[in-house]
Amino acid sequence: MNTKLKVSEISKIYPGCIANDKVSLEFGSGKIYALLGENGAGKSTLVKILSGVVKPDEGEVFLNDESIKLNSPLDAKKNNIGMVFQHFNLFETLSVFENLSIDIDKKDEELRALVNDILKKYNFKIDLDIPVLNLSAGQKQKVEIIRCLIRNPKVLIMDEPTSVLTEQETDDLFISLKQFSKDGILIIYITHKLKEVLSLCDEVAVMRKGKVVSVSNTIDEKIESLANKMVGENLNTIKKKINNFKKSEEILKISNLNFTSDDPYETNLNNLNLSLKKGECLGIAGISGNGQNELFQILSGEIITEGTSIMFRNKEIGKLNPKERREYLMAFSPEDRISQAAVPELKIYENVALNNFKSSNFFEKGLVNEKKIKEHSKKILSNFSVNTDNVELKSQFLSGGNLQKLIIGRELITSPELLVCFNPTWGLDVGAINYIHETLIQINEQGKSSILISTDNDELLKLSDRICVIYKGKLSKIMNADTVSAEKLGILMGGGSID
Amino acid sequence: MIKVEKRSDVSRSIYFLTPVLAIFLTLFGGGIIFFILGFNPIEALKFFFITPISDLYGLSELLVKATPLCLIAIGLSFCFKSNNWNIGAEGQLIFGGIVGGGVALLFYNHDGFYVLPIIILSGAIGGMLFAMIPAILKTYFNTNEILVSLMLVYVAKLLLDYLVVGPWSNPEGFNFPETRQFSESARMPILFDGLRIHAGIFITLITVFLSWLILYKTYLGFQIKVSGLSLKTAKYAGFKGKTMIIIVFMISGACAGLAGVGEITGPIGQLHRNISPDYGFTAIIVAFLGRLNPIGIIFASLIVALTYLGAETAQIFLQVPKYTGQVFQGMILFFLLGSDYLLFFKIKFLGLKKNEL
């Protein structure tokens, strides 16, 4: 039976962010569709709308040319739309069969027969009577898939399904998905992994900043072309003057850094090596979710890795927390400026006090020195042209650009030797972007170093002296920025190799 | 169509006025309940809220009840402000009472000015140590502090039961489940002859002042505030998260322990099974009604203390069970949470869209 699914002009606006901006897409059964985009591109919002978890502000969903209302996950089930979320929704202590029988109106024997048929048909090997907690991630996912299959789905949506799977499990999953597709189930596959799109899917829709930017057949695409579509095509070639740092003093050296996370949704880092010279900007490119978050936290000291060597100005700092690292003149500007780098409910001067170090005297003998903090904050507001002089203002009333100026200002006013920043211009307007870029170039000119982790290639090519790419927790070779092209970055970001 | 939206800013004065609104709504709701029960609502409410405090003895009783409530709620505010959900203040109160009471029994035939301070201190330490159990389990073994602290309440209760029935029971007490009376020097000084109000109120007031100082004027207070608003930011700023969790639990436990020791050396004068009418649980309502603010908590403790007194008067004059007090406490929390929802969210009534008609 043919299934046609169509979303028409779907919009969803959250305070301060347009998650979906007039998204229109059409899908038909027999094909596997990829929905590709970076974190925050709006793909998760779209599938939440399709599965009834989120209601769109505008737009309609059509199933076989009929408009359907998806007010709750129950409505999605009624319309035979199945969804396997990235995070599993299973009761760990119940058996597989109990998990399957929870929300279905069938007699136990009947259900067991049905499940056994499915197991046989798709060659799944799962013991139905053991508790879910004894299953591997791949098997748990199969349980979730079976849960959808027993409802005869017309549409099956998979949200980043491979993030917790091993290579072997991923291969198995792809075989099953292709089989489902042959059996007439329409499959929508959400991912930010380019290789998977090319090896599995027939059509690919790329989303960026809430909009669909391209729809094409995967045969016509390559890893680089998809990478460029994901991060933005207008790769500009304005570059900063490249200096030769061969003779400069080495300021940071990381050798053989490994990080294995307890959380299966985080990326492990493998054998990372890098070094940074005084006055240099090292750019780290990559599609988000490839270990940038973990790398930033290791640099800032939010994650302490045992036995790792991080030498900063000839001192071992691997075991120090962020506050202690600041004493050694490091500064950090995290990606999440709204809820991590600053607290929206706090006043500007209180947010400034977050970057507290001994010589600042913000807190003397454990007591707050409000006067000192306020003076210091005023200095930041005027030096970094933040659009207010009221240090009592809550930072939630600053625009994104002004907030980022405040944060960069807070981090830089201590004249740190190294600034680590992660997507510093994400979501800002052009004026603010230029200001931040100029500031970052300026600190290099003053002989201070910086590490720029960014998913914006344009920005990286403009600001970096050397560039490398992070892919699945591994760093590529570090290259001089003047020898790097957008195409090269694209290949490396998709997991390809260059010589 | 109805749509719920988060408000972008909440006015500070309204933030502190909603608890007052909640109290008025509670009175209104209480009136309705009394009416349904067949009483004249105005009369009944008068018995509940005015009669108990219309004489000096009543006012003194109000302060006797408010003293432990305020003390515990102040301690809890440290935990709640930093997103640590200590639900077990009742257990910490009882354990503080057990330790303080144990010391008092040790000194039962001693006299001297040093006896009471030692008892008070040991009670505070007892509550503090008891609160450290959920804190340490949370920081090192990732347990849920709500469950652990709550279940420890029953551990403390049963321990107290065992002690007053068994090893600590009064040798001359005809097997009543209670200990000896504490000696005179182990009792809180009474402030006025004939009234029960005791020196514990000064401990509470000093604690309120110190808490205000810590919360608003120190680095520790700043760290507590930031951690409560965003744990991610606290980590990024390099605050020592685990140490802080343990410190707030210690403060909170010490306050509850002090409240326990204040009860047994104050109005009670010995250990028995019921040294607290659930002060530790009711203080949670007090803490939120007072907006986790030291001054707010003082007022909130007086109001909630009144529900205890009102229930007793109502039991006598209206023959309703004294659990009516808990009904009122429940209503206060209900209306507070309800008005908070409207405080932080606004409800928009939109016209029906064409395609929905």
Q: Are residues A322 and A389 in the same domain?
A: no
Q: Are residues A292 and A365 in the same domain?
A: no
Beta carbons of B217 and A323 less than 8 Å apart: no
Identify the domain containing residue B42 by its residue range: 2-352
Q: Are residues A430 and A455 in the same domain?
A: yes
Residue A455's Cα: distance from chain center in Å? 9
| Buried/exposed A472-491: b ≥16 CB within 10 Å, e otherwise | ebbbbebbebeebebebbbb
Average pLDDT over residues B244-263: 96
Beta carbons of B238 and A326 less than 8 Å apart: yes
Which of A324, A340, A366 lies nearest to residue B236, judging by beta carbons? A340
Q: Is residue A231 part of a domain?
A: no
**Tokens found for residue A119:** 């197991």
Where a domain ends, among A374, A395, A414? A414
CA angle at residue A451 from A445 to A455, to 5 degrees? 120
Which of B6, B218, B226 lies nearest to residue A368, judging by beta carbons? B218
CATH number of the domain bearing residue B239? 1.10.3470
Q: How far apart are CA B196 and CA B67, in angstroms?
A: 12
Name the pLDDT band for A235 (thresholds 50, 70, 90).
very low
| pLDDT confidence of residue B322 | 83
Residue pLDDT, tens place only, A317-345? 888 999 999 999 999 999 988 888 999 88
Beta carbons of B232 and A15 less than 8 Å apart: no
* B9 and chain A in contact, CB less than 8 A: yes
In terms of residues, how long is chain A? Answer: 499
| pLDDT confidence of residue A236 | 46
| pLDDT confidence of residue B151 | 97
| Mean pLDDT estimate for chain B | 91
| pLDDT confidence of residue A398 | 83
Residue pLDDT, tens place only, B309-351? 999 888 888 888 888 888 999 999 999 888 888 888 877 776 6
Q: What SS3 class is residue A355? A: coil
| pLDDT confidence of residue A97 | 93
Q: Is the pLDDT of residue A184 over 70?
A: yes
| pLDDT confidence of residue A485 | 82
* A117 and chain B in contact, CB less than 8 A: no
Between the alpha carbon of residue B217 and those of residues B14, B49, B161, B209, B252, the distances in Å are 24, 37, 42, 11, 18
- Sequence-distant (≥ 6) Cβ neighbours of residue B249 within 8 angstroms: B79, B84, B86, B131, B132, B134, B135, B145
CA angle at residue A193 from A192 to A195, to 5 degrees? 150
Residue A376 contacts residue A420 (beta carbons within 8 Å): no
Average pLDDT over residues A81-100: 88
- Higher pLDDT: A386 or B80? It is B80
Residue pLDDT, tens place only, A137-165? 888 889 999 999 998 899 999 988 887 77
* A301 and chain B in contact, CB less than 8 A: yes
**Tokens found for residue B45:** 């409410």
Maximum CA extent, chain B: 85
Q: Is the pLDDT of residue B64 over 90?
A: yes
Residue A221 contacts residue A206 (beta carbons within 8 Å): no
Residue pLDDT, tens place only, B89-137? 999 999 999 999 999 999 988 888 999 999 999 999 999 999 999 999 9
CA–CA min distance A345, chain B (Å): 8
Name the pLDDT band for A16 (thresholds 50, 70, 90).
low
**DSSP class of A131:** B
Name the pLDDT band for B200 (thresholds 50, 70, 90).
very high
| Mean pLDDT estimate for chain A | 87
Between the alpha carbon of residue A316 and those of residues A119, A255, A281, B239, B322, the distances in Å are 54, 12, 21, 20, 65
Q: Is the pLDDT of residue A422 over 90?
A: yes
Query: A404 exposed, middle or buried (CB, 10 Å; 0-12, 13-18, 19+)?
Result: buried
CA–CA min distance B342, chain A (Å): 18
**Residue % of chain A over a pLDDT of 90:** 38
| pLDDT confidence of residue A223 | 80
pTM above 0.80, yes or no: no
Q: Is residue B357 part of a domain?
A: no
Q: How many domains are there within chain A?
A: 3
| pLDDT confidence of residue B356 | 44
CA–CA min distance A15, chain B (Å): 9
Q: Are residues A470 and A408 in the same domain?
A: no
Identify the domain containing residue A398 by its residue range: 338-414
DSSP lists the bridge partners of residue A316 as A311
Query: Does ipTM top 0.90?
Result: no
Residue of B nearest to A57 (CA): B3
Name the pLDDT band for B5 (thresholds 50, 70, 90).
confident
Residue B304 contacts residue B286 (beta carbons within 8 Å): yes
Q: Is residue A8 part of a domain?
A: yes
Which of A332, A350, A366 lies nearest to residue B218, judging by beta carbons? A366
Q: How far apart are CA B122 and CA B308, in angstroms?
A: 28
| pLDDT confidence of residue A238 | 47
Q: Is the pLDDT of residue A233 over 60?
A: no
Where a domain ends, among A414, A438, A468? A414
DSSP string covering A409-466, please? HHHHTT--SEEEEESTTTT--HHHHHHHHHHHHHHHHTT-EEEEE-S-HHHHHHH-SE
Q: How many domains are there within chain B?
A: 1
Beta carbons of A342 and B218 less than 8 Å apart: no
Which is nearest to A277 in space by CA: A252, A300, A299?
A252
Q: Are residues A71 and A194 in the same domain?
A: yes
Residue pLDDT, tens place only, A96-148? 999 999 888 888 899 999 999 999 988 888 899 999 888 888 888 899 999 99
| Contacting residues of A for B232, CB less than 8 Å apart | 336, 339-340
Name the pLDDT band for A237 (thresholds 50, 70, 90).
very low
Q: Is residue A446 part of a domain?
A: yes
Name the pLDDT band for A499 (thresholds 50, 70, 90).
low
| pLDDT confidence of residue A224 | 79
| pLDDT confidence of residue A3 | 87
Residue A436 contacts residue A428 (beta carbons within 8 Å): yes
| pLDDT confidence of residue B13 | 80
Average pLDDT over residues A233-253: 66
Between the alpha carbon of residue A425 and those of residues A337, A433, A443, B125, the distances in Å are 10, 6, 16, 51
Residue A117: other Cβ atoms inside 10 A: 12
Where a domain ends, among A194, A221, A248? A221
| Contacting residues of A for B230, CB less than 8 Å apart | 339-340, 343
CA–CA min distance B335, chain A (Å): 25
Q: Is residue A437 part of a domain?
A: yes
Q: Residues of A numbered 401-460 whose beta carbons fall under 8 angstroms of chain B's beta carbons: which are they?
A: none
- Sequence-distant (≥ 6) Cβ neighbours of residue B296 within 8 angstroms: B16, B19, B289, B290
Q: Are residues A134 and A242 in the same domain?
A: no
Residue A370 contacts residue B217 (beta carbons within 8 Å): no
Between the alpha carbon of residue B264 and those of residues B68, B72, B106, B112, B256, the distances in Å are 11, 15, 15, 18, 13
Q: Is the pLDDT of residue A486 over 80?
A: no
- Sequence-distant (≥ 6) Cβ neighbours of residue A452 within 8 angstroms: A281, A282, A283, A284, A421, A424, A440, A459, A460, A463, A464
Q: Is residue A20 part of a domain?
A: yes
| pLDDT confidence of residue B342 | 82
